[in-house]
A = this chain, B = another copy of it.
Amino acid sequence: MSKRHAFFVSDGTGITAEALGLSLLSQFSHVTFERTTLPFIDSVDKAREATAQIDKAAQEGDGRPLVFDTIVDQGVRAELAKANAFFVDIFGTFLKPLEQELTTHSSYSVGKSHAISDRQAYKTRIDAVHFALDNDDGARTRHYDQADIILVGVSRSGKTPTSLYLALQYGLRAANYPLTEEDLDGETLPKVLKPYKSKIFGLLVDADRLAAIRNERMPGSKYASPRQCEIEVRAAQTIYKREHLPCMDVTELSVEEIASRIMQLTGIKRRLS
């Protein structure tokens, strides 16, 4: 296995450079990458420091470092370009062709993509986060009329992280409600959810996987036993089927994938862009 340094360099948070770089690097699974993110490189001086750091890494690894950068300012980019590295230069590559296509000049302004674009968007997002918190795990149900979606599922099926992700990423008001033993025994939807059927989305998870997750939390408990998990998962499935609820097996999915697929399946429109 060879080892290479990879740098994600940005004039903002570095989130985009990182996401893009990781997405490209994930295609080279037989190379080990030593990864470093350098955010807020927004001046020639900072670029000079970054260049020094990259050059230092160049002397260590098996080959020159890879640099994925989303720096807008041409002077800063030019300074960075002095580093002994292989560049995946997003703005350098795509801005000129885009300018030609749009027959207009870019504004070359820094760090725009994760900045607060407007107050309203900020408020939408923060409100969504607080909505998800206030309506987590069935804590309250009286605000379900304001929910964009209500996730249901057995304990530890991924409801909470998905709700929070939907709030943070898309500004959606996501409540979540656990299917309890009583609901599962009766194989019926909890009464409190019935008026909101059109907003409900059911999560399913493989019983063995669920048992493993629960075992981390309460080792050796009945709650974590494969048998109990299987009974609960089957009952949840029966409820979704009987009530004709949209649902999805999330066993092999990341939180991002669960969130995206739910939006695709339900057609819910994001409140943030």
Contacts and interface: CB of A to CB of B under 8 A. Distances in A.
A102 B260 contact: no
Interface in A153-191: 158, 160-161, 164-165, 168-169
Given A13-B257, A107-B29, A24 B116 contact: no
Nearest to A113: B23
A273 B35 contact: yes
A91 to B, nearest CB: 7
Contacts of A130: 160
B39 A115 contact: no
A136 B13 CA distance: 24
A146 interface: no
Interface string A248-271: 000011111101110010000000
A66 B255 contact: no
A57 to B, nearest CB: 15
A93 B94 CA distance: 10
A101 interface: yes
Interface string A22-51: 111011111100010001100000000000
Most buried by B among A27, A129, A216, A257: A27
A108 to B, nearest CB: 7
A253 to B, nearest CB: 7
Contacts of A125: 161, 255
Given A125-B255, A168-B255, A254-B115, A98 B24 contact: yes
Number of copies: 2
B256 A13 contact: yes
Contact of A88 (B19, B94, B256): B94
Contact of A112 (B26, B91, B108, B252): B26
A27 B95 contact: yes
A26 to B, nearest CB: 4
A111 B35 CA distance: 20
A196 interface: no
B254 A107 contact: no
A123 B24 CA distance: 24
A114 B40 contact: no
A98 B102 contact: no
B90 A257 contact: no
A125 B19 CA distance: 17
Contact of A20 (B90, B104, B106, B161): B90
Contacts of A97: 86, 88
Given A24-B90, A93-B93, A114-B254, 4 more contacts: A22-B113, A40-B260, A111-B257, A125-B161
